[in-house]
Amino acid sequence: MAATASGRDPIAAGATDSRADSAGTPADAVADLLAEALRTRGGAARQRLADMLHQLGAIDRAVYAAVASVPAPALDRAMRQLSRSADRSRLWLGIAGALALTGPAGRRSASRGVLAIAVTSALVNLGVKTLSGRRRPDRSGVGVPGARQVRMPTSSSFPSGHSASAFAFATAISRDSPWLAVAIQFLAGSVAYSRVHTGVHYPGDTVAGALIGAGAGQAVSSVFDRALARRALPRRP
């Protein structure tokens, strides 16, 4: 990644300015893309907002570099394994299968969760990721320890699909399984953090993924509730 046209220094090793370079490669952060769009429109208010967005992008990259620079050998293996367990939503599908064995409420909860994952995955992977074009972090540039690394995906970095699926599932099952909701939300947050710890996402990617997932999970649950309500209505003779 190149330094900015103004020549200012990167915030940390490997955390460089994310505006598009002279070759026209995609900007690193969605915040930077929005900021550049605002700058072209002119106006003092838009300029201030553009500055704020650029600064948020810089903070995002700085936090990523800070996490990479802190030795955490006690966490490295656990975060690597947790991140891998959530590949292709295997972790959540396993929990859904266990829930389905607990009775009618568990089956409803599992159905909500799996449907929420399906909708969210399509939204993120077929929609948002194709539009954002954010490059993956430079793990070697910031020195992410090899002991904590997992395979680097080839898709766009923004938003985190793992985080989106995690929070979609956690939000959806809370309707029928409130006793499990707190534990699953904590697990979802841990999966989101594991994606930063292993170096495959910036923090902003996981936050955005969590927000998208929670929103999609809530929407799917609402539609699911309406469908159940219609089925419960007495049939007309």
Q: What is the pLDDT of residue 233?
A: 64
Q: What is the pLDDT of residue 177?
A: 85
Q: What angle do CA 15, 121, 66 make, to 5 degrees?
A: 20
The CA-atom distances, in angstroms, between 159 and each of 30, 56, 68, 131, 176 are 9, 15, 19, 10, 28
Q: Select 74-232's CATH number: 3.40.800.20, 3.40.50.1820, 1.20.144.10, 3.90.180.10.
A: 1.20.144.10
Strand partners, 15: 12
pLDDT tens-digit series, residues 64-101: 999 999 999 999 999 999 999 999 999 999 999 999 99
| Cα–Cα distance for residue pair 139/200, rounded to 1 Å | 8
Token pair for 122: 């399509």
Q: What is the pLDDT of residue 236?
A: 59
The CA-atom distances, in angstroms, between 234 and each of 188, 205, 229, 237 are 39, 46, 10, 9
List the domain boundaries for the chain. Answer: 1-70, 74-232
Could you write out the DSSP letters of every residue in 163-196? HHHHHHHHHHHTTT-HHHHHHHHHHHHHHHHHHH
Token pair for 185: 């939300």
Q: Where are the alpha helices (DSSP H) in 42-89?
A: 44-69, 73-85
| Cα–Cα distance for residue pair 177/98, rounded to 1 Å | 12
Three-state DSSP class for residue 12:
strand
pTM here is 0.82
| Cα–Cα distance for residue pair 71/154, rounded to 1 Å | 26
Q: Residues of the chain whose pLDDT is less than 70?
A: 1-31, 33, 232-237
